Amino acid sequence: MPHQITIKPSGHVFFAQPGETVLQAALREGYSLPYGCRNGACGTCKGKIIQGKVDFGSHNESTLTEIEKQAGMALFCCAVPLSELVIECREIGAIKDIKIKTLPCRVQKLERVAPDVMVISLKLPANERLQFLAGQYIDILMKDGKRRSYSLANAPHDDELLQLHVRNYSGGAFAEHVFTRMKEKDILRFEGPLGTFFLREDSDKPIIFVASGTGFAPVKSILEHVFHGRNLHGYRQMVLYWGNRTSADLYMAELAGSWQQEHDNFTFIPVLSESPPADNWSGRAGLVHQAVLQDFDDLSGYQVYACGTPAMVEAAHRDFTRLRGLPEDEFFSDAFTTSASQPKP
């Protein structure tokens, strides 16, 4: 039988069908809860069970610990109601009117921009457009029934082609296909837009973007959206820290550098962790989130948007909130998880 779920503090009520997770039920009934990976790896959907019982489901133990479970916390993308529930979490209004679609698309262009990064441009059918918020992602639907999630790197106003940044990594079935067999004019299917990693436009706080690797993709979408309609966003100060291993991995450094030249409220800081002597790198070195710690003694008045590897996102959240006073509700993230069931490289 269905279980009633009440969201606090809004008081919204919806029903979960047998076997449905809290997140699946909420999205089906039009309530937008924060989420990212949808497989228990990133922690974006974590909230509190005030009343009732759930099956916590399969998830990364480090993302939801036993101590957190005992304190009533759950990952709503995994938690299946076993009774009526009262939950506490933030709701997100900006995405409630955006329809999630399943669409075909054609590979319009393949551009290898780094040794292990491919930029894919996808064209929708002539009568279709995808409405999305800058920073959201889509799921590529593979023939074996699996999904691969990739952030949209183009801004919503520039939607003639959808742009994905795909990193080649060991064990990545779709990534391997992209780098070895995919060709222009191939047909793909996807579902989207998905995710709650997007700019909170109701704030005037300065913004720190922290990206690692292809975590640059959704940040690119957000920044191009801001620069396009900056009369809507004012002149919020923004800085992007982009971490990679070597200079060859900074596959769109010239673009980010041009933003800095064109917009006096934007700063670009590339950070390399394993730069070889041949790079002759004279810029920032080390871990990208540590560069932020070096530059900011107090983050209490900032918003942070972090995207990339789970290790980077987790370290940034931990250190920014504990060591620099960043409010919990001003940290927004999208961790590119690579679980066996649903990688997001």
Note the pLDDT of residue 95: 81
273 closest CA partner among 315, 304, 239: 315
Note the pLDDT of residue 170: 81
Note the pLDDT of residue 230: 59
Under 8 Å between Cβ of 335 and 41: yes
Can you give the C-alpha Rg of the chain in angstroms? 20
Give how far Cα 107 sits from Cα of 104, 122, 149, 162, 219, Å.
10, 5, 16, 10, 23
Under 8 Å between Cβ of 3 and 85: yes
**CA 8 to CA 91: how far, in whole Å?**
9
Domain assignments of the chain as residue spans, ordered by start:
3-88, 101-194, 207-335
Note the pLDDT of residue 341: 38
Note the pLDDT of residue 342: 44
**Out of 3.10.150.10, 3.40.50.80, 3.30.450.20, 3.40.50.150, which CATH number does the structure's domain 207-335 have?**
3.40.50.80
Q: Please state the separation of Cα 38 from the chain's center in Å.
A: 11
pTM above 0.95, yes or no: no
148 closest CA partner among 172, 131, 126: 172
CATH class of 3-88: alpha beta
Note the pLDDT of residue 234: 56
**CA 283 to CA 209: how far, in whole Å?**
18
Give CATH for domain 101-194.
2.40.30.10
Note the pLDDT of residue 345: 45
Residue numbers in the chain where pLDDT is lower than 50? 231-232, 339-345
For residue range 197-232, what is the model confidence (pLDDT) as tens digits? 999 988 999 999 999 999 999 999 999 999 987 544
Structure tokens at 148: 């691969």
